[in-house]
Structure 1
Amino acid sequence: MGTIPQETIEQIAAANDIVEVIGSYFPLKRAGANFKALCPFHQEKTPSFIVSPSRQTFHCFGCGAGGSVFRFVMDYEHVDFPAAVRKLAARAGIAVVTEYRGGAADEDRRHATRQMLLKLHAEAAEWFHENLLQQQFARPARDYLERRGISPQTIERWKLGFAPESWDAFLTWALAQGYTRAQLVQSGLVKLRDENRLQGDVYDRFRARIMFPICNDIGEVIAFSGRILKEEEGAAK
């Protein structure tokens, strides 16, 4: 049976903030640095279900349920791990390509794919960043960040960026860099209009959004979060 690559699982986890995911199922209330709610896995009158943004985990002090964002979806939706991964991948717009273990040649292909995706995300981060700093269409985004007290130093340090309000601006740029349509869909930065038609039309996943690169433990960009500019109170996606 095929398996989901570990790097894909890590990318999906990074792109799905556990507070946002659990908060999409039922309301959470802030409790200091954490969030709390009545536990969905047992009956209780006093909230003992805690969600930690810093650790990206949940734990119920009443029944002992707890774990990662994948574990929550598994327990709440009553699905297995691969199904939970696919649900969260769909939520984040990340394509899941199942791989079949083979010999050294297969391992080389997996390594090459991982390096390609890391390179694509790094270059995309620079493109989004340059848009924010230099493009006239990004002025509203710059003004918004200034109103929120985000300094130029912070913008530079975290490589904040901007995705233009276009269905294919990123797609056009990435194709010009030599990436294939299939690679862009695999990255999750470009989406199929119809998931059942692999050769159908595609479009940019992020449009008119302030872009926040998500990095792994060694600083490599593996995903993005985007905040809708037109709705200042809109949730990040």
Structure 2
Amino acid sequence: MYYPDEVVEEVRMKNDIVDVISGYVKMQRRGSNYFGLCPFHNEKSPSFSVSQIKQMYYCFGCGAGGNVFTFLMEYENYSFEEAIKFLADKAGVSLPEADYSVEARRNENKRAKLLAVNKEAARYFYYQLRSQKGQVGYRYLRERALSDETIKKFGLGFAHVTSDDLTKYLKSKGYEDKLIMEAGLAGFDEKYGVHDKFWNRVMFPIQDGNHRVIGFGGRVMGDGKPKYLNSPETMIFDKSKNLYGLNFARTARAGHIILCEGYMDVIAMHQSGFTQAVASLGTSFTAGQANLLRRYAKEVILAYDSDGAGVNAALRAIGILKEAGLTGKVLNLEPYKDPDEFMKNLGEDVFKERLRQAENSFFFELRMSEKNYNLKDPESKTRFHREIAQKLCGFSEEVERENYIEAVAEKYHIGFDNLRKLVAACAVQTGMAKVAVRPKSGIQKKTDAEENKKKPQKLLLTWLAEEPSLYPQIKKYISSKDFTSDLYRKIAEKFFEDLENGAFHPADIISMFTDEQQQREAAGVFNTKLVELSTKAEKEKAFHDILVAVKRESLNYFTEQASADMLMLNQMIAGKKELEELSKTHISLD
């Protein structure tokens, strides 16, 4: 849904960023800004800054930053549309109706009806658990050591032994057979007609990230088959793109996600305070689920069953996590089979220690491979070392590969240089990229010349944001074209246009970008740390030096391009004159 810029700006201006963020972060005022502990990374001293003047936030520790929309998108993991709707409702702003096509409107209506019937079904199951007929289900949950509070939190319920109770109830509420079946709550056959899909089961409502019921899982009471039964995929329920418990885990802020195999494992984790736990939905972990997790954490700790099937599932998941750019670790649950049993027998403190000791996924893979070799036999041991070398070839980044070679060499008592040569040989034999060979003691310093070039541009934009009254004195010498980065140039174009019109709103500039990284970088542009200077003369010199540095870099840029472009040549000539004049000009900070 597209909202006009004026509507977006109205919503933003009617939601003061300090008021909104103070509902999530405890902050104290320091000068013109507010500071608190960053909600996006673990820290002990406050580096999270919120500016009421700029209507922006920025963390000097992790670089998170943006406006009020960005905050909700990062903290609550809302889409941009969801953030606007939330804040519009909070401020009492009426949003325009969506301009859907006939087909899109039909699909939207169908989605709304499916969500409504699922919500009603969840309500029905919830109350049946507390009825006389639901006592068998309630006793089962209590025997699994779940508290009433936990049962309520997850909306757990019960489906009766009879096979048409839910269907009758939903029809009494006005829902038609066709919709009930499309939601996966009922099936049809010639003998029984329309009948419930779930019966004689404890019910687990499956919710999306916004706490909307999109499907169900049911655990049979007794020895019936299948033991666990899940809703089929529907318009609103895609198993490969959802995770059980994610509606709670996405706001856990633990720095990692615990990935389990079963619903009860997740619930046991949450009851014990580990609210970062999730589980796949009756299927193997998928790339879609890994990409979903990437929105919430960089590290995933696998808490799969410790049996053979669990190990194989963990090995598959490690590869998927790696492909998604996530760091994977593996939890040691022995001597127990799953997190639920572990927690009941050893408790929270031991589980916390196991989390801290979670095994690096690469070393877990090696440990599992090691079981296939006899390390007392030289030939078998050599084959194992070759397999290690092949796995090490999978690290495309040289620094990371070197670090793992060093760690593996130490762990398995292999000579570092010998292992490096073996890795290089494997890379050549398998046709993979050549592995650079350099001495172990070699130190390669990385300098980011581009960042050094951009720093004066960032300083200038921050300074003008702090003191917009300086713009009229510098606009003769500096324009948006002097910013050599595409992102900075776009920011400067909007910034300088607003300054010309006398209506500068830094937070509005953030809304020009939809990419999260660009929003962070844009926020950082207006939050560069300025050196504190004591005298007016020192400040004027510093500001003048920044202007000259921006103009000089601009001139260098256009000079490099001038030979191939007449427009660039003209820009270079004009820039040279402006730089000469600027060098002789005094800029007053009065």
Give the TM-score normalised by the residue count of structure 1: 0.52
- From the superposition, tell whether residues 115 and 152 of structure 1 become closer, same or farther in structure 2 (CA, over 3 Å): same
In 2: Cα distance, 1:215 partner to 1:149 partner? 23
Q: 2:195 aligns with which of 194, 203, 207?
A: 203
How far does residue 233 in structure 1 lie from its aligned partner after superposition? 9.7
Alignment of 1:35-184 (within 5 A): 104-133=101-130, 135-184=131-180
How far does residue 219 in structure 1 lie from its aligned partner after superposition? 1.2
The amino acid of 2:177's aligned partner reads R
How far does residue 143 in structure 1 lie from its aligned partner after superposition? 1.1
Instruction: Give SS of 2:218's match.
Output: strand
Instruction: Give SS of 2:155's match.
Output: coil
The amino acid of 1:189's aligned partner reads L
- From the superposition, tell whether residues 229 and 217 of structure 1 become closer, same or farther in structure 2 (CA, over 3 Å): same
Residue 230 of structure 1 aligns with which residue?
A: 222
In 1: Cα distance, 2:213 partner to 2:140 partner? 24
The amino acid of 1:115's aligned partner reads A
Give the TM-score normalised by the residue count of structure 2: 0.21
Q: 1:220 aligns with which of 212, 224, 238?
A: 212
Instruction: Give SS of 2:219's match.
Output: strand
Deviation string 1:141-178 (CA, Å, 9 cap, x unpaired) is 11111111011011000000000111210110000000
In 2: Cα distance, 1:232 partner to 1:154 partner? 26
How far does residue 231 in structure 1 lie from its aligned partner after superposition? 2.7
Question: Unaligned regions of 5+ residues in structure 2, if any?
Answer: 1-99, 230-590
The amino acid of 1:215's aligned partner reads Q
State the number of aligned residues.
130
In 2: Cα distance, 1:161 partner to 1:209 partner? 9
In 2: Cα distance, 1:126 partner to 1:117 partner? 14
Deviation string 1:116-161 (CA, Å, 9 cap, x unpaired) is 000111111111001112x101111111111110110110000000
> Pairwise CA RMSD of aligned residues?
2.1
How far does residue 213 in structure 1 lie from its aligned partner after superposition? 0.5
Deviation string 1:47-97 (CA, Å, 9 cap, x unpaired) is xxxxxxxxxxxxxxxxxxxxxxxxxxxxxxxxxxxxxxxxxxxxxxxxxxx
- From the superposition, tell whether residues 204 and 234 of structure 1 become closer, same or farther in structure 2 (CA, over 3 Å): closer
In 2: Cα distance, 1:233 partner to 1:186 partner? 23
The amino acid of 2:171's aligned partner reads L
How far does residue 232 in structure 1 lie from its aligned partner after superposition? 8.7
- From the superposition, tell whether residues 175 and 151 of structure 1 become closer, same or farther in structure 2 (CA, over 3 Å): same
The amino acid of 2:162's aligned partner reads S
How far does residue 192 in structure 1 lie from its aligned partner after superposition? 1.5
In 1: Cα distance, 2:123 partner to 2:142 partner? 20
Instruction: Give SS of 2:228's match.
Output: coil
Instruction: Give SS of 1:136's match.
Output: coil
In 1: Cα distance, 2:172 partner to 2:182 partner? 17
Instruction: Give SS of 1:178's match.
Output: coil
The amino acid of 1:140's aligned partner reads V
The amino acid of 1:124's aligned partner reads A
Residue 12 of structure 1 aligns with which residue?
A: none
The amino acid of 2:135's aligned partner reads R
The amino acid of 1:123's aligned partner reads E
- From the superposition, tell whether residues 111 and 137 of structure 1 become closer, same or farther in structure 2 (CA, over 3 Å): same
Greater per-residue strand proportion: 1
How far does residue 234 in structure 1 lie from its aligned partner after superposition? 6.1
Alignment of 1:4-15 (within 5 A): none
The amino acid of 1:136's aligned partner reads Q
In 1: Cα distance, 2:203 partner to 2:161 partner? 13
In 2: Cα distance, 1:223 partner to 1:230 partner? 23
- From the superposition, tell whether residues 172 and 227 of structure 1 become closer, same or farther in structure 2 (CA, over 3 Å): same
- From the superposition, tell whether residues 166 and 233 of structure 1 become closer, same or farther in structure 2 (CA, over 3 Å): closer
In 1: Cα distance, 2:120 partner to 2:225 partner? 29
Instruction: Give SS of 2:223's match.
Output: coil
The amino acid of 2:146's aligned partner reads I
In 1: Cα distance, 2:124 partner to 2:154 partner? 14
- From the superposition, tell whether residues 158 and 116 of structure 1 become closer, same or farther in structure 2 (CA, over 3 Å): same
In 1: Cα distance, 2:185 partner to 2:226 partner? 20
Alignment of 1:183-202 (within 5 A): 183-193=179-189, 201-202=193-194
Deviation string 1:93-112 (CA, Å, 9 cap, x unpaired) is xxxxxxxxxx8111111000
Question: Unaligned regions of 5+ residues in structure 1, if any?
Answer: 1-102
In 2: Cα distance, 1:233 partner to 1:174 partner? 25
The amino acid of 1:216's aligned partner reads D
In 2: Cα distance, 1:233 partner to 1:205 partner? 13
Instruction: Give SS of 1:150's match.
Output: coil
Instruction: Give SS of 2:128's match.
Output: helix
The amino acid of 1:228's aligned partner reads V
Percent pairwise identity:
29
State the structure with bigger RCO (CA 8 A, min sep 6), 1 or 2. Answer: 1
